[in-house]
A and B are shown apart, each in its own frame.
Chain A
Amino acid sequence: MDLDLPPELATFRDGVRELAQAVALPLAAEVDRDHRFPKEAVTAAAEAGLLGVLIPREYGGLGLDALAFTLCIDEFARACASTSVIVDVHTSVGSEPILLFGTEEQKRRWLPRLASGELLGAFALTEPASGSDAASLKTSARRNGDGYVLNGTKVFITNIGHAGLYIVFARTGPDERAAGVSAFLVPADTPGVRVGQVFKKMGLNGSPTGELVLEDVVVPVANRLAPEGQGFTVAMRALDSGRIGISGQALGIGQAAVDEATTLVNERRLSPHPAGSLREQADLPTRWGRQGDDFTLADMSTRLESARLLAYNAAWLCAAGRPFTRQASMAKLHCTDTTMQVALDALQLAGEEGTISGTPFERHVRDAKALQIYEGSNQVQRIVIAREVLQ
């Protein structure tokens, strides 16, 4: 047993950290305030090869594993949650399915362009009436000669409008549930592909989320990913490793909240309240008098450490080619619940000043909330875990 990161991965993480702190962090407040795409950060990530972390070298990627991917997303999220979700969705659910299920020709055609960032990836599964119950999706793919004609509306699509390639799940039939679903690679410039409403959200404001409308979109058979009827399998496998990415994202936001809260508590200790003020009178002369804040910080960092290990464990199993579905769901559930609580605790420590727009404290709270909901709500994670435990 050895729970330390291998030195080469620690070096990789430090490199990503340096880049994210230099490029993504300075944009974080602005992209949140202006609801704008952090183009500079995504471009910097592309130039550093970080949009192809999981893609093998022969297809132009870095050829690293799920653990490296987790560290990469963690570091981006620590700097800017919006940037991290853009990179995460691109790398995992937006690209990895091609790696896992694509033909050699599909891999050669698409992966180098995704690895370089020429194309940003996206994943179009959810529909207005089909969220947790993904198998009930209605978007249709009708076979027509050498192609398929897709019609329907997808919703809550991350990277909407900026993606060059959407992995779209549609019903080819005849089964009305999971066995009738197929996966398609749909370039954004295909006629009939349209961006619908782009949503105004509570958080992750730099990451565009919206509707993808498909109107008589003709896709060649060569763009079908995996055999007909295998789409649901593709989606579920993509989400398994996607959950590892979301865990990494949660770790990054949580770590940022812990770091900022630590700085704040330290500063308070160094600059006592004004002489004679009520706050000064309420203080005991020693550290024992500040235990309320100290203990909150201790709990925050302890929970985050336990969450980190769950995420690393799921990623390590995934990288080793071992089953990891249960561990990925546990990691996603625990990391995101922990980060929600940690972000709220940090805001509470900051007090009123933490609620002011533009401070990181309130932004972390808004950003963290999405993580408990997307890539399978935490209720769905509990269903997955309970199913495995009760098996």
Chain B
Amino acid sequence: MNFDLSQEQVAIRDTIRELVQDRVAPRAAEIDEKAEYPKDIERLFAENGILSIPFPEEYGGISGSSVTICMGIEEIAKACATSSLILAVQALGSYPILVAGSEEQKKRLCPPLASGESVAAYALSETGSGSDAAAMKTRAKRYGNEYVINGTKQFITGGSIAGTLVVFAQTDPDADHRGISAFVLERETSPWQAPKLEHKLGIRGSPTAQLVFDDVKVPAANRLGEEGAGFKIALAVLDRSRPGIGAQALGIAEGAFDYALAYARERKQFGQPVSSFQGIQFMFADMATQIEAARHLVYLAATKVDAKAADLTKVASMAKLFASDMAMKVTTDCVQILGGYGYISDYPVERMMRDAKITQIYEGTNQIQRVVIARSLLK
């Protein structure tokens, strides 16, 4: 048993931390206000190797470890949740290739992602198919050596800016979830459209797109796994990506906590810092404890990803559920500690509270996490 990060991980974390403080934190409020994708931050991450973290060395990356990915997402999310999604979605969109791709596919598709030349996205949800992913309508029909995809995907993070998109579609609509297959679309050869971006409560700089596929051709060589294996791949990917959402929630909570703590020490009422009041101190004690508990659960799940542990599915759901519920509570309490100042946009905690909300919803709502956990406990 060892709770410590490796020396190499600490070095990576410190590099990210410095970069985030210097370059990301000063941009966070503006990214939120303008709701613009921070292309500059994406380039910064690409140039500094941060986007290569999700990939093992043989595919052009530097790690591939879920613990390292979570650590990176957590560090970035402390300052800017939108920016943390650039790494999180790079991992999410690459996992299908790493989990289900052939050696040839991994060697061909991963290096441009690891170098940051291309960014990835993951297209599963549809308007009528959210938690019930098997109900999807997007269709892929085979003609010789290629498939033709038709349909619409909804709420696709980074779908409008991605160069590499994993799309799930029905190849055998009569077979229900066993008829779903997974494809890797490369924008240049299989262009899709993103006619609409959503206006959102939080993570406003991260584009959430509706994607339209109108006779989009994709080579059969870009199908991941067998026909019909898509649903299994989708679930295997979510097992691996959910700890990352836990890490994002953790980072958001820590960012809000640190800000509120510094504020409470400075802010004077009744002639003394508000941090001297026990009512406030107990809020900090509870928040610190809940953050610490969530951190351990997130990293337990990450170690289970790396070890391909049998109980990964349950623990990944627990990490995502606990960390995101914690982040919602902690960020709400941090707004409370700042009082009226917490509610206005001159201070970052209201943004963090808005950003926290999505972590309870995406990559499986917390209700779905409870379904998954209960299923693992019950007969």
Residues of chain A having any CB pair with chain B under 8 Å: 1-6, 9, 67, 262, 265-266, 269-270, 291, 294-295, 297-299, 301-303, 305-307, 309-310, 312-313, 316-317, 327, 330, 333-334, 379, 381-383, 385-386, 389-390
Contacts and interface: CB of A to CB of B under 8 A. Distances in A.
Contacts of A390: 261, 265, 275, 281, 284
A333 B369 CA distance: 25
B1 A330 contact: no
A330 B299 contact: no
Contacts of A381: 285
Interface in B1-32: 1-6, 9
B373 interface: yes
A330 B321 contact: no
A3 B374 contact: no
A334 B289 contact: yes
A389 B285 contact: yes
Contacts of A316: 1-3
Contacts of A297: 373-374, 377-378
B378 A313 contact: no
B265 A269 contact: no
Given A305-B322, A306-B297, A317-B3, 14 more contacts: A3-B2, A6-B1, A265-B378, A291-B374, A294-B371, A294-B374, A297-B373, A301-B373, A310-B289, A313-B3, A316-B2, A330-B289, A379-B282, A386-B284
25 contacts: A1-B9, A1-B299, A3-B2, A3-B3, A3-B303, A5-B1, A262-B377, A266-B379, A294-B374, A295-B367, A301-B318, A301-B377, A302-B322, A302-B373, A306-B294, A307-B293, A309-B296, A309-B297, A312-B1, A313-B3, A334-B292, A382-B285, A385-B288, A386-B281, A386-B282
B379 A269 contact: yes
Given A4-B1, A306-B293, A299 B285 contact: no
Nearest to B5: A1
Contacts of A5: 1
Contacts of B328: none
Given A330-B292, A333-B285, A67 B370 contact: no
Contacts of A327: 292
A4 B2 CA distance: 8
B374 A334 contact: no
A355 B261 CA distance: 43
B324 to A, nearest CB: 11
Given A295-B367, A316-B1, A309 B300 contact: yes
A379 B284 CA distance: 12
Contact of A1 (B6, B286, B289, B294): B6
Contacts of A385: 284-285, 288-289
A297 B321 CA distance: 13
B290 interface: yes
Interface of A is mostly: helix
B289 A2 contact: no
B285 A334 contact: no
Nearest to B303: A3
The 7 closest A-B pairs by CB, nearest first: A309-B296, A294-B374, A386-B281, A382-B285, A298-B373, A298-B370, A385-B285
B378 A1 contact: no
B197 to A, nearest CB: 33
A386 B293 contact: no
Nearest to A302: B318
B67 interface: yes
Interface in B259-300: 261, 265, 275, 278, 281-282, 284-286, 288-290, 292-294, 296-297, 299-300
A386 B285 contact: yes
A345 to B, nearest CB: 13
Contacts of A330: 288-289, 292-293
A291 B377 contact: no
A301 B367 CA distance: 15
Contact of A295 (B1, B275, B307, B374): B374
B1 A334 contact: no
Contacts of A310: 289, 292-293, 296
A377 to B, nearest CB: 12
Nearest to B297: A306
A379 B285 CA distance: 10
B297 A305 contact: yes
B288 A3 contact: no
A2 B309 CA distance: 12
Nearest to A330: B289
Interface string B237-273: 0000000000000000000000001000100000000
A327 B1 CA distance: 16
Contacts of A265: 378
Nearest to A312: B1
B19 to A, nearest CB: 22
